[in-house]
């Protein structure tokens, strides 16, 4: 065998080895193994989302929290007999929609047992609920496998918190291969849904430990929240407030308008104004169209959906999303 041919042969073998050990996500992954899978998920979403439209915000949050811990592997869905799983961590105590995912999983399992991962179901359902409530569409490549490990401390350490500053946010996003632009765009999901008063109680009542208010929060808005919304100190964990007042059910640019007016609910929202790059990106988004925002958001969330995915022979295909198979 000539040297050139031998080298090409070795190169082809190496490429084949890499391909076999590092399978990739692909569009229509279940086209042959479970051709109705994506249709089943979409049908269930359309049948039920209008009875509970707030689930769109809940599921996109669940998808975000899942991907930031061990990648997008459905580990946020796992239960723990000792309450030490991701879903038991403080950032996930207000996450909801687990039953919604379980119901979809049971339908898909009835059609194709042991074929479609919970990780893919969560990713597809998050997209479909957002679209069903008027939000952007993004492409979802599939082929994710389910993780078998879920650890409370990892969720506590990796999921961005509402009180994080811009440096911490940049670091947490960079750890997942996401940049400042992704931070701004994915924060845009706050345009829908609600938060609990407990998430911003420090900003309103005890910012520096002296019974004061966060000066970065618009004073008129803060006074309104304290007077009419978060006015019962005993109900801060249960009282809900709109993250984008007036249009919390509409996926639009309203969130960014609130942030620019210093009316973002969280310290992490306000932090976006403390960096020249993120502030400029917000201004640019507001100067553009909603359609432009939709396109930019779609790119970032598809990128997020690829974080450290398990493919090929990694992980497993769970029979039940809350439990590992063994």
Note the pLDDT of residue 326: 81
User: How far is residue 69's CA from residue 307's CA, in Å, rounded to a whole number?
Assistant: 9
Under DSSP, is residue 138 helix (H, G, I), strand (E, B) or coil?
Answer: coil
Please, what CATH class does the domain formed by 166-287 belong to? mainly alpha
| Extended beta strands in 92-219, E state | 194-196
Catalytic residues: 65
The domain limits of the chain are 36-158, 166-287
Q: Is 69 assigned a ligand-binding role in the annotation?
A: yes
| Extended beta strands in 61-138, E state | none
User: How far is residue 38's CA from residue 68's CA, in Å, rounded to a whole number?
Assistant: 24
Burial zone of 139 (CB within 10 Å; 0-12 exposed, 13-18 middle, 19+ buried): exposed
Query: Is the pLDDT assigned to residue 300 strictly greater than 60?
Result: yes
Query: Is the pLDDT assigned to residue 287 strictly greater than 90?
Result: yes
Q: Is 86 assigned a ligand-binding role in the annotation?
A: yes
User: How far is residue 40's CA from residue 48's CA, in Å, rounded to a whole number?
Assistant: 12
Q: Domain 36-158 belongs to what topology?
A: Peroxidase; domain 1 (1.10.520)
The maximal CA–CA distance of the chain, rounded, in angstroms, is 84
Q: How far is CA 20 from CA 88, 184, 222, 285, 314, in A?
A: 36, 36, 56, 41, 12
The fraction of the chain above a pLDDT of 70, given in percent, is 93
Q: Is 215 assigned a ligand-binding role in the annotation?
A: no
Q: Do domains 36-158 and 166-287 have the same CATH topology?
A: no
Q: Is 71 assigned a ligand-binding role in the annotation?
A: yes
Q: Is 190 assigned a ligand-binding role in the annotation?
A: yes
Note the pLDDT of residue 16: 44
Give the count of alpha carbons within 13 A of 221, CB side only. 20
Query: Is the pLDDT assigned to residue 111 strictly greater than 80?
Result: yes
Query: Is the pLDDT assigned to residue 35 strictly greater than 90?
Result: yes
CA angle 192, 251, 119 (to 5 degrees): 70
Collect all residues with Cβ–Cβ distance below 8 Å to 170 and sequence separation of at least 6: 180, 183, 275
């Amino acid at each position: 065998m000539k040297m050139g041919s031998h080298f090409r042969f070795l190169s082809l073998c190496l490429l084949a080895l890499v391909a076999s050990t590092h399978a990739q996500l692909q569009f229509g992954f279940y086209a042959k193994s479970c051709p109705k899978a994506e249709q089943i998920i979409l049908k269930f979403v359309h049948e039920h989302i209008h009875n509970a439209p707030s689930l769109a915000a809940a599921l996109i949050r669940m998808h975000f929290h899942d991907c930031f811990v061990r990648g997008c592997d459905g580990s946020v869905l796992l239960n723990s007999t000792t309450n030490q799983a991701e879903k038991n961590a403080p950032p996930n105590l207000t996450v909801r929609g687990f039953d919604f995912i379980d119901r979809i999983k049971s339908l898909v399992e009835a059609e194709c047992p042991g074929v479609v991962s919970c990780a893919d179901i969560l990713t597809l359902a998050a997209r479909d609920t957002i679209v069903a409530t008027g939000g952007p569409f993004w492409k979802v490549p599939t082929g994710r496998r389910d993780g078998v490990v879920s650890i409370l401390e990892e969720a506590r350490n990796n999921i961005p918190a509402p009180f994080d500053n811009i440096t911490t946010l940049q670091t947490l996003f960079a750890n997942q291969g996401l940049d400042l632009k992704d931070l701004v765009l994915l924060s845009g999901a706050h345009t829908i849904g609600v938060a609990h008063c407990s998430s911003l109680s420090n900003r309103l009542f005890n910012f520096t430990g002296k019974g004061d208010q966060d000066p970065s929060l618009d004073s008129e808005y803060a006074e309104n929240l304290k007077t009419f919304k978060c006015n019962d100190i005993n109900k801060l964990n249960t009282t809900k407030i709109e993250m984008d007042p007036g249009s919390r059910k509409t996926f639009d640019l309203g969130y960014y308008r609130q942030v620019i007016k210093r009316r973002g609910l969280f310290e992490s929202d306000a932090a976006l104004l403390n960096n020249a790059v993120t502030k400029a990106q917000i201004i640019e988004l507001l100067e553009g169209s909603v359609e432009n925002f939709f396109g930019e958001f779609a790119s970032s969330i598809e990128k997020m959906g690829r974080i450290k995915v398990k493919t090929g022979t990694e992980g497993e295909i769970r029979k039940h999303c809350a439990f590992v198979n063994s």
